[in-house]
Amino acid sequence: MTYAQKRALTELWGRFGIESGNMRLSIVELFGRRAPLVVEIGFGDGESLANMANADPEMNYLGIEVYCPGIGHLLLRANELGLTHLRVMRADAVEVLERRLPDESIDRIQIFFPDPWHKTRHHKRRLIQGGFVALLARKLKSAGRLHIATDCEDYARSILDLLNTTPGWVNMDPNHGFTSRPTYRPLTKFEQRGRRLGHPVWDILFILA
């Protein structure tokens, strides 16, 4: 972690951070306004999340991450951009969803490049599985969106099959396949480098019926 990131965690957390705990959050009190809520799970270095929030001031953004350097970087970017509609949690996403966020409170959940756990014996550690998808469905509003992107084809097809066969989810692709990258999702540096090397990325976009 850089010195700047460490300093951001100390000096900027009070402005953007949400302390850990078990109490349900009031989204209106948290942001000081009523607006659609986007939750990003595992935002990495936070660059794309900061850019999305900066481009869309009419939405509230909540990022959940456990990686301290990434949190520090996001705090720095949020401060540089003067974002007032972004909040950050350092916590396990499942615990946040189960304990902190009210049911039917989220308009869009986005999970970009989750750990694919490539080895077959580790697939059980993958985040996006049946029980987790059921939890997401509880937290999304009716007609809320779930957007997932991954560069692991095996994982992408597993997620697509899971959502296509789970009642209550509607694929935004009319052919029940992958979607094109929505314009609101920025290309990360990692993704741009992968594209130059010919590595595709699969976007999966579903609506909760």
Q: What would the mean pLDDT of 53-58 be, rounded to a whole number?
A: 97
What are the tens digits of pLDDT across the range 2-42? Answer: 999 999 999 999 999 999 888 999 999 999 999 999 999 99
CATH for 62: 3.40.50.150
Q: Catalytic: which of 115, 151, 161, 203?
A: 115
Answer yes or no: is 129 within a domain. yes
Domain count, the chain: 1
pLDDT at 188: 83
Answer yes or no: is 24 within a domain. no
Percent of the chain beyond pLDDT 70? 100
State the residue range of the domain holding 55. Answer: 3-15+33-208
Answer yes or no: is 189 within a domain. yes
What are the tens digits of pLDDT across the range 124-164? Answer: 889 999 999 999 999 999 999 999 999 999 999 999 999 99
Answer yes or no: is 21 within a domain. no
Asked if 185 and 202 touch (Cβ cutoff 8 Å), the reply is: no
Answer yes or no: is 83 within a domain. yes
Answer yes or no: is 26 within a domain. no
The per-residue pLDDT of the chain, averaged, comes to 95
181/195: higher pLDDT:
181
Answer yes or no: is 47 within a domain. yes
User: Is this model's pTM higher than 0.75 or not?
Assistant: yes
3-state secondary structure the chain: CCHHHHHHHHHCHHHHEECCCCCCCCHHHHHCCCCCEEEEECCCCCHHHHHHHHHCCCCEEEEEECCHHHHHHHHHHHHHHCCCCEEEEECCHHHHHHHHCCCCCEEEEEEECCCCCCCHHHHHHCCCCHHHHHHHHHHEEEEEEEEEEECCHHHHHHHHHHHHCCCCEEECCCCCCCECCCCCCCCCHHHHHHHHCCCCCEEEEEEEC
Answer yes or no: is 22 within a domain. no
- Residue 103 known to be catalytic: no
pLDDT at 198: 83
